[in-house]
Structure 1
Amino acid sequence: MSSVYFRKRNNKTTRKLKKQKIKNEKKQTKTKNKKIKTKNKNKKKNKHKNTFKTTTSRENMRIKNSAFSSESDQETDLDETQELISTRFPYLRKDTDFKYLRKFLQERLYKSGGIQLLNSEEAKKQRVYCWELVKSIGKEILDGKELTAISMPIGLFEPRSFLERLADSFAFAPVYLERAYESMNPLERLKNVIVFALAGLHLSLTNSKPFNPVLGETYQSCFSNGTKIFCEQTAHHPPSSNFELIGPKEKYHFFGNGIWSASFRGNKINCSQEGKCQLNFKDGSIISWNNPLVHISGVLWGDRVTNFTGKMLFKDQANDLEAQIIFDPASLGFFKSIFFSQKLPMHSISGTIYNISPKKKKNKKIFSKIEGSWIESISFDGETYWDIDENLPERPIPEKNPLPSDSTFRKDRNALLENDLQSAGEMKIMIEEKQRYNYRLRETRSFRK
């Protein structure tokens, strides 16, 4: 009995000792973790002392690291930048796509060219909604009906309006439009305008669909150099969006409109924008151009890839200059692709700047050759003007006190921003029904009686 008793007592003591050892080890690890955290905090404070300065005026607030930045070592900077902006502008959405967009673009380059959707969960979610849409109104979609006239499921949307996305494509205006204004050489001015138009294309592509703007909806924002942005939805069917950029001291005035259309073709979506873009400088020179087509493949199955196709034509009639940009210049077509392989990726571009004098139509003089990609870099005669790793864009800053019709006041948008899909879907249906009712009133002109 005594031996059993002592064994039990020894077991109890060993258990107590083990428990004490575990507690001591936990305490030691906690103290170590606390020390590491304090060191990291001190490093961050010392690193960002001179980076972020809180100012009272919106014009003086400069975002040091843009929300489009992609460097992995800048992630902490970008988090703090997002917090700083969200406190100033509570209706500005926090979006990880904006924080890592540039890195995201480079990592998801498709093998044959273009931008691929690599997020498998997002792709599955979108395909479920797309298949439901095909089952419900499949005939209308397959017949090529305009997608802008079809009510889409709320699960396909992102929490912002198309007018907000449109402003993102102007992100290089403070750099390249300023350079174009300062350059007195017409050829050099045209080069910078071309870079401004091409470099901002990739910023208008996101995985989710933005909300269709309501007739009369507006969006106001600006850049840190004082450039003001105004967007407005001026037509319901077909949907037309007008935009206007006014540079500081009215150095440049950029305006235009886009009549958007999109059609479903099997497993593909083709999007187009009719309408011209015009840029007026203070000295009187005018440059105009058109926008390319958008091609999205792999909507229902396969790899989801987005590309720009077609041509862009830039005109400077006062200086007899014209530039033609061709997207995917090495495209072989269906029959040639069977026998030959494509050397350049699909996101490549090529073009020339030449004279448009009516006397020299037959013998056009080429002033410069354009090469590169709308994703990676753009060069003229071997000289790089834009590189995605070196030239960071600037995100537009929303107006602090915009008009009541501003996109940031949309109830469906703000509900989706809070991840409330049910109320966002209900609000979206209410807004669409109201717009259809107002459209019928305008058609019948009953409001004049």
Structure 2
Amino acid sequence: MASRLFKRPWTRSNDGSEATTASRPETPDDDDFHDAEEAVLHPDAHEEGGLAFNNRELLESQRSAIYELIRDMGMKFLTGHINLINMSLPVKMFEPRSYLEKLTDVWVYPALLTKAASCTDPVERMRWTVTWFVAGLQHVFQSWRKPFNPLLGETYQASQPDGSTVQMEQISHHPPISAFQITGPGYLFVGHSQPEVTFRANAIKTTAKGMRMLHFADGTSIDIVYPAYYMRGILSGTPRGEMVGTARFTDATHGLVCDVTFGKADGAAPSDRLLNRSDTCTATLCQLDRTNLASAQANSSASADASQERGWSKRLGGLTGRLTSLSLINRADNGLPEGSQVIGRGLGNWLSYFEWDHHRYWSIGESHATLWQPDPAALPSDCRFREDLVALRAGDVKQSQVLKEQLEVRQRQDAKLRKP
């Protein structure tokens, strides 16, 4: 499917004032990226919004496996709130990768994060951090097959051409928790992901709880709360992936909070087809007043103390150094604190472009993802060496199923031995 172009309703003139597309002077040799009048939409964008699943052969295979699950579990599968993470699913639904590998799919624009790290202005750094996040969202649905659940102690190591490295480890089996650390030019991205994948009616919802924090060389840190991912139309029609809810970014040091909300942009003109799509994202960047900032920092300290008592800080210590709990100010389900002053607005579409205050920061047609390259000297515990993954990668589905079940039995036996 060819990429689609959408005219922007306005551009920015040289003096910074708004100008209509019609009044903008024609400059054939103008290659100003920020003032581009056309926005390219992802070639697989679904007409109803989100990213479409257009691989018909794979779709039929996945649906066949889901129908088998429904047959085995009955109506509970359709009407219940079932966490797929805790279920043993058939290998034919899987891709030959671990969840540890899949986590890196969205972190493929390191150049944008390097720009954030190079900023001395905390506001501009926040803009680039949010842009980096939005740019990677198209890769959430890079694969429509389920990855393998990591085994306890399983690891993954990889690098980027710019020298960035990622180290990951599965630190808990129940609940499943994956810890990660990305080290790049001027930044350190650390945290853990505790996914919950639920099936209900005709959709699969994924939420990934956990702490995610960007540390920069000057001591600034930005907490990130992720939105929910939906895969709709699993049993009928053309499936599509969507982002739902709000992502929140918090720089407590400088009193900055940015909410990125997904869905049709408020006030978008009916003629602006791009901003009326469900994959539109709107960012509101706010400066907190000092009273709210002090309260937030106090709440953060109290939450961190409570988390240490639960023991997770100790278990994450080797990778993250410390666990900073998300305080009330960091929770995306709460409104922005009273007294916040809006100091910037972002607008775009995670399948097309993103801009801040009418200046383009990222475009799908201009930026190129760089994939993570597995470490050739990885630890023996690296997920790529798992027997069931190796078998599936070689195309032996039956042997992979046998090996997967053997590993699951071994995990259950090991879990019993760890109990006091």
Q: Aligned residue for 2:23?
A: none
- DSSP-derived class of the 1:253 partner: strand
**Counterpart amino acid of residue 407 in structure 1:** C
Q: Aligned residue for 2:52?
A: 116
1:180 Cα deviation from its structure 2 partner: 1.2
Q: Aligned residue for 1:370?
A: 346
Q: Aligned residue for 1:188?
A: 124
Q: Does 2:228 match 1:293? A: yes
Q: Aligned residue for 2:320?
A: none
Q: Does 2:61 match 1:125? A: yes
Q: Which residues in structure 2 correspond to 1:36-435 (within 5 Å)? A: 106-141=42-77, 142-173=79-110, 175-205=111-141, 206-248=143-185, 251-330=186-265, 344-359=276-291, 362-435=338-411
1:135 Cα deviation from its structure 2 partner: 1.0
Q: Aligned residue for 2:10?
A: none
Distance in 2, Cα, partners of 1:343 & 1:185 = 29
- DSSP-derived class of the 2:276 partner: coil
What does the per-residue CA deviation read over 1:197-221, in whole Å, with 9 as the maximum and x for residues that have no partner? Answer: 2211221321211111111110000
Q: Aligned residue for 2:304?
A: none
Distance in 1, Cα, partners of 2:183 & 2:56 = 41
What does the per-residue CA deviation read over 1:223-261, in whole Å, with 9 as the maximum and x for residues that have no partner? Answer: 11211101111111221111101124xx21110111110
Is the Cα contact below 8 Å between 1:276 and 1:291 reproduced in 2? no
Distance in 2, Cα, partners of 1:190 & 1:415 = 44
**Alignment TM-score, normalising by the size of structure 1:** 0.70
- DSSP-derived class of the 1:166 partner: helix
- DSSP-derived class of the 1:107 partner: coil
Is the Cα contact below 8 Å between 2:224 and 2:247 reproduced in 1? yes
Distance in 1, Cα, partners of 2:275 & 2:123 = 30
Q: Aligned residue for 1:102?
A: none
Distance in 1, Cα, partners of 2:116 & 2:214 = 11
Which structure features the higher share of helix residues?
A: 1
Greater relative contact order (CA < 8 Å, ≥ 6 in sequence)? 2
- DSSP-derived class of the 1:318 partner: coil
Q: How many corresponding residue pairs?
A: 331
Distance in 1, Cα, partners of 2:56 & 2:148 = 23
Distance in 1, Cα, partners of 2:52 & 2:385 = 32
- DSSP-derived class of the 1:130 partner: helix
**Counterpart amino acid of residue 341 in structure 2:** K
Is the Cα contact below 8 Å between 2:229 and 2:241 reproduced in 1? yes
Superposed CA RMSD in Å reads: 2.2
Q: Which runs of 5+ in 2 are unaligned?
A: 4-40, 267-272, 293-336
Q: Does 2:413 match 1:437? A: yes
**Counterpart amino acid of residue 290 in structure 1:** V
Decide which structure has the larger Cα Rg and report it.
1
Q: 1:362 to 1:208 in 2, by over 3 A?
A: closer
Q: Aligned residue for 1:41?
A: none
- DSSP-derived class of the 2:170 partner: strand
- DSSP-derived class of the 1:319 partner: coil
Which structure features the higher share of strand residues?
A: 2
What does the per-residue CA deviation read over 1:28-82, in whole Å, with 9 as the maximum and x for residues that have no partner? Answer: xxxxxxxxxxxxxxxxxxxxxxxxxxxxxxxxxxxxxxxxxx99xxxxxxxxxxx
**Share of identical aligned residues, percent?**
30
1:162 Cα deviation from its structure 2 partner: 1.0
What does the per-residue CA deviation read over 1:127-176, in whole Å, with 9 as the maximum and x for residues that have no partner? Answer: 11000011112355342121101111111111111111112221112x01
1:359 Cα deviation from its structure 2 partner: 4.4
Is the Cα contact below 8 Å between 1:371 and 1:378 reproduced in 2? yes
